[in-house]
Amino acid sequence: MREDLSVPPTLERLRRHLVGLRMPRALEMLDHMMRQIERGEVGALEALEALLAEELTLRESRRIKAALQMARLSTVKTLATFDFSFQPSLDRHRILALAQLDFITRHEVVHLLGPPGTGKSHLAIALGVEAVRAGHSVYFATLADIVASLGRAEREGSLRERIRFLCRASLLIVDEIGYLPISSGSGNLFFQLVNARHERGAMILTSNRGFAEWGEVFGEPVVATALLDRLLHHAVVVSIEGSSYRLRQHADLVPESLRPAASTLAQAQPRRRGRPPKPRGADPSNG
């Protein structure tokens, strides 16, 4: 004879089981699901599936929240909130292809280049959020923060451990390259990190400076050349030639001499080393 799940002793045991299994959402939904069973709105198996689905949803939400905190992605931005219409030079399909995250498994470096306010950081964070949701480990920091932490670790004799820590994440996002001057010593420290991650972990870099200016950015052309040698080896370069989204309502107040020139980054697209050139007529959105 089939046991009646509505009797109090059975419910109490079920509640204790859910408490012991640490399933708070299922416990919270239990009485509601029992009423639905009593009214004949759902069957026992459907109710069980619904309870487990609720619990899984809660746990996944907690996992994502914790992972975003570990990634230092305190400000969550998504591709859904990015205004592609404001940046017509940006290929939406190319960004959505990056959101499939194949570049992470291929250990590639994605460069997002463009003047300030064109959405580079937004896109970098959004791709980082997609990676977290997919189960990848992510770490986000500005270049200034990274070289400061590396310099501190070097002074404390723990540089190797710090580099090892920054190599653990499947995806390392380095924001704001070129916004603040970097000494040649700091450039050398950053090169050690890049060299350690080369072909072992994916990266996303954002910069307002073209590659030809990286010698000035890192204070030493030799360091910049060594960095680019590795960072462009397996690279995807996305150049954004547009106006600042943050200044869109006050663009007329910005002097002409301070407005970004599209030609600054136009020559930033490198050829992928070790890969054959595209045939004529190929779809540019795939490059």
pTM above 0.85, yes or no: no
Mean pLDDT, to the nearest integer, of 151-168? 97
Quote the pLDDT of residue 284. 36
Per residue in 168-189, pLDDT tens?
999 999 999 998 888 889 999 9
Per residue in 38-79, pLDDT tens?
899 999 899 999 999 999 999 999 999 999 999 998 788 999
For residues 41 and 139, membership in a common domain is answered with no
pLDDT band, very low/low/confident/very high, at 256 (cuts 50, 70, 90): low
- Residue whose C-alpha is closest to residue 99's, from 68, 75, 73, 78: 78
For residues 152 and 201, membership in a common domain is answered with yes
> Which residues constitute the domain of residue 179?
79-286
Residue 98's contacts (CB-CB under 8 Å, 6 or more residues apart) are 110, 127, 236, 238
Mean pLDDT, to the nearest integer, of 224-240? 95
For residues 119 and 224, membership in a common domain is answered with yes
Residue 3 resides in a domain: no
Residue 235 resides in a domain: yes
For residues 115 and 237, membership in a common domain is answered with yes
- Residue whose C-alpha is closest to residue 267's, from 237, 233, 222, 227: 237
Question: For residues 87 and 119, is the Cβ–Cβ distance under 8 A?
Answer: yes
Quote the pLDDT of residue 219. 87
Helix (H) or strand (E) holding 112: strand 109-113
Per residue in 12-46, pLDDT tens?
898 998 999 999 999 999 999 989 988 999 998 99
